[in-house]
Amino acid sequence: MLLPLSLRLKIGKEIANALTYLHMAFPKIIIHGYVMPLNIVLDRNLTAKFSDLSMYITLLEGKSRIEAEKVIGALGYIDPSYAQTNFVTEYTDVYSFGVFLMVIVTGRPAIVSTRSDRDPQSIISYVKGLYENRKLDEVIDPMTMNDITSAGKLQVEAFIALALSCCEERDEDRPKMIQVAKELKQIQTSF
């Protein structure tokens, strides 16, 4: 099924809300640890839900990180600082979520190959290059381009800027999931 931009934004917002809930609703922060399209399903009302919480990690009450026995996640979605240190934080999910946002708006996998460059690269560097060069038309999934208005392009620009901020190299430069969820709601309603 081809997903219009409005549904993609809705999916992003719903998953951001779900992650915010996991991060804030319990005494111990729950880290999903495996945020990617494969682990998300749409119900009959096209509401996005997590289908797999089997890899979750809980942070001890009052702690902001925990050392994992092994790195979990899929190539392209794994937070580089987590991969290097084995320390999981709530920002581990924020990073994966940023990649997820880029995947759903572009329709491309987390590791991409372009025609001009045969070497695979992360979707982050691919999207960042296009975003910085103001080539948003190339960022958007070509299957949805015909239906996108000028307001839709502004939504995509804000969506991509938010996704890139989620994928900042350092944890402390990334927003918290509650901020991401609020911004996605604003993006969805402002344009």
Residue 2 contacts residue 20 (beta carbons within 8 Å): no
Q: How would residue 117 be classed by pLDDT, with cut points 50, 70 and 90? A: low
Query: CA torsion, points 43, 18, 188, 112, in degrees to nearest 10?
Result: -80
What confidence score (pLDDT) does residue 165 get? 98
Q: Which domain holds residue 87?
A: 5-190
Between residues 135 and 144, the one the model is more confident about = 135
CB within 8 Å of 121: residues ≥ 6 apart = 111, 112, 113, 114
Count of structural domains, the chain: 1
Between residues 34 and 19, the one the model is more confident about = 19
What confidence score (pLDDT) does residue 131 get? 94
Residue 109 pLDDT > 90, yes or no? yes
Residue 126 contacts residue 108 (beta carbons within 8 Å): yes
What confidence score (pLDDT) does residue 148 get? 83
What confidence score (pLDDT) does residue 1 get? 62
Cα 46 to the chain's mean position, in Å?
18
Residue 55 pLDDT > 90, yes or no? no
Looking at every residue in the chain, the average pLDDT score rounds to: 90
pLDDT tens for residues 69-80? 877 788 899 999
Structure token digits, residue 146: 């015909």
What confidence score (pLDDT) does residue 89 get? 92
Paired strand residues for 111:
122
Residue 114 pLDDT > 70, yes or no? no
Distance CA 164, CA 159 (A): 9
Mean pLDDT score, 44-59 = 90
Q: What CATH number does the domain containing 18 carry?
A: 1.10.510.10
pLDDT tens for residues 172-184? 999 999 999 999 9
Mean pLDDT score, 160-170 = 96
Residue 98 contacts residue 163 (beta carbons within 8 Å): yes
